[in-house]
Amino acid sequence: MPKVAIQDVRRYAKRTAAIIVGLLALLAALATWAWHQRADIVDSGLHPQVTDGLPDTAVTVTWLGISMLLFDDGETQILVDGFVSRPTLLESLTGRPVTCDAPMINYVMDEYGMNRLAAIVPTHSHYDHAMDVGAIANRSSASILGSESTANIARGYGVPEDQIVVAEPGTQYGFGDFTVTLIPSVHAPIGLRGEVPLAGTVDEPLELPAPITAWREGGSFSIIVSHPQGTTIVQGSAGYREGALDNVQADVVMLGVALLGSLGRDYAERYWQALVTSTGAMRVFPVHFEDQTRPFGEIVLPPKLIDNFVRTATWLQAIRDTWDRDTQLLLPSFGQRLALYPEQAPDA
């Protein structure tokens, strides 16, 4: 009898193991399938902005993915954010230490002509905004302007102290004909439990390699980039502070929309009003809508399971039609110089 019992137990254990393996395989297949369910950007109904025949005197912006933006007036360049190294999905999920991709940073700075950088200004200190600011600063003479956390990211990369400026909120910093102002804002509450993900500060020089969780938010800003030709607001994350921009008039808003869909349409409407309606902007470019685990230059929407930009774009168009009928809602074209204030630029 005991012999039979042992055989039974073995058979039972084998069957259970087979069922578990089968279930795991099914789960993996489901997860893979869900990961590949992505909306197509052309379905957003938004049209890419294309600028032909730029006058030399135009103030331009080049969108380099997420909310990395290169402003240029032909003499001075301002870079908002620095995110060229793209930790992979696996590195993001496992917390494997990552470091800056030096060859890629060299390529990007050369390819997009970043040779007159005066300032590098991260919207906040998460890795997808500030990971490469130190590496870029070290390849230029630009000042890094941001929070104390941003300063510690720069210090960890060995950026000389005289290139690091901890910004006084609301103070206007002049770089050539540009004026840059950091207005305290808040990060979007897009964590799983409605919290700000990776909140907190970077309190020590951030030495690399480090897991992506080492880049803490460190406070978020609305970045106001002003020029005699016009004013642009960059909002890296879809957070807003009621009334914070009441005294700001803008022509263009670069509107961070990552995970805006998870916050609901009502939130999206309040966000729009705080950034666009209150500032009178006539052109809005959504940014930070693509899958940030893809290599630099690959613009692919995230899995619908995580974020659906097509639905967000539908909301934004309806909200625009309600509040700001004459405001244009446009897609930025990756890596292309766009004239920010075409009506202002004197002919070359």
Nearer residue to Zn ion within complex by CB, 38 or 126: 126
Compute the least distance from the CB of residue 59 to Zn ion, in Å. 26
| Residues 212, 258, 235, 285, CA torsion sign | positive
Please name the helix (run of DSSP H) or strand (run of DSSP E) that holds residue 11, with its range, or none: helix 2-35
Question: Which residues sit at the interface with Zn ion, rule CB under 5 A?
Answer: 126, 237
Compute the least distance from the CB of residue 61 to Zn ion, in Å. 20
Enter the DSSP assignment of 275.
Answer: I
Nearer residue to Zn ion within complex by CB, 101 or 128: 128
Compute the least distance from the CB of residue 154 to Zn ion, in Å. 18
Nearer residue to Zn ion within complex by CB, 126 or 227: 126
Compute the least distance from the CB of residue 213 to Zn ion, in Å. 12
Contact (CB, 8 A) for 296 and 132: no
Nearer residue to Zn ion within complex by CB, 237 or 279: 237
What is the distance between the alpha carbons of residues 283 and 287, in angstroms, rounded to a whole number?
13
Compute the least distance from the CB of residue 53 to Zn ion, in Å. 36
Nearer residue to Zn ion within complex by CB, 131 or 338: 131
Chain-centroid distance, C-alpha 276: 18
C-alpha distances (whole Å) from 289 to each of 135, 196, 217, 281, 334 are: 24, 18, 19, 20, 12
Nearer residue to Zn ion within complex by CB, 126 or 155: 126
Nearer residue to Zn ion within complex by CB, 66 or 117: 66
Rounded to the nearest 10 degrees, what angle do helices 309-323 and 265-272 cross at?
A: 50
Please name the helix (run of DSSP H) or strand (run of DSSP E) that holds residue 14, with its range, or none: helix 2-35
Pairing relation of β-strands 164-166 and 172-175?
unpaired
Compute the least distance from the CB of residue 207 to Zn ion, in Å. 21
C-alpha distances (whole Å) from 283 to each of 68, 160, 252, 268, 276 are: 18, 37, 5, 17, 9
Compute the least distance from the CB of residue 256 to Zn ion, in Å. 8
Residue with the CB atom nearest Zn ion in the bound state: 126
Please name the helix (run of DSSP H) or strand (run of DSSP E) that holds residue 128, with its range, or none: helix 127-130
